[in-house]
Amino acid sequence: MDPSNGSCHACGATGGPLMKFSLGKDFFGRPYDRLSPFSDQRPKWYCEACSMHKNLQRDFRDICAEYDKLSAGQGSELAKGDELRRASVRLREIMIILDAAQGQSPLLAGDDVRLLMGRLNTATMPA
Ligand SMILES: [Zn+2]
């Protein structure tokens, strides 16, 4: 079976080089595979631009999930000041990259990132 069918899983681009996306570790340095063993059995393939956006999307999702825990009063990586700062810096980076990209990313909406950035800014009080 052709693992990629020759096209990018996100934007459907064909003809260019495709990369298998490896989940590796999440934004907070935790191994990913325990959360998503399924994705190892069905690896996805992305073109160059999408594999970069996939990394941004992964960090965004990690930060978003930790923010949800924080706002629900559960233990969260973002309760540590350093991680909260690091997450804010990363979101700003993601925003800059998205703004510089041609057209809308098929994987990540700038508005979502902006929204989470605003929420993080209001979550700076100590837990
Ligand atoms: Zn693509």
Q: What is the CA(8)–ligand 1 centre distance, in A?
A: 5
Q: Check residue 118 and give its pLDDT.
A: 94
3-state per-residue secondary structure call for the chain: CCCCCCECCCCCCECCCEEECCCCECCCCCECCCCCHHHHHCCCEEEHHHHHHHHHHHHHHHHHHHHHHHHCCCCCHHHCHHHHHHHHHHHHHHHHHHHHCCCCCCCCCHHHHHHHHHHHHCCCCCC
Q: Check residue 20 and give its pLDDT.
A: 85
Averaged pLDDT in 10-residue chunks for the chain of 127 residues:
70 90 81 57 82 92 95 94 95 94 87 94 65
Q: What is the CA(102)–ligand 1 centre distance, in A?
A: 13
Q: What is the CA(15)–ligand 1 centre distance, in A?
A: 11
Report yes or no: 94 and 60 within 8 Å, Cβ to Cβ: yes
Q: What is the CA(49)–ligand 1 centre distance, in A?
A: 6
Q: Check residue 85 and give its pLDDT.
A: 94
Q: Check residue 127 and give its pLDDT.
A: 45
**Among all chains, which residue has been given the structure tokens 């325990």?**
34
**Among all chains, which residue has been given the structure tokens 């693992």?**
3
Q: Where are the domains of the chain?
A: 19-121
Report yes or no: 64 and 28 within 8 Å, Cβ to Cβ: no
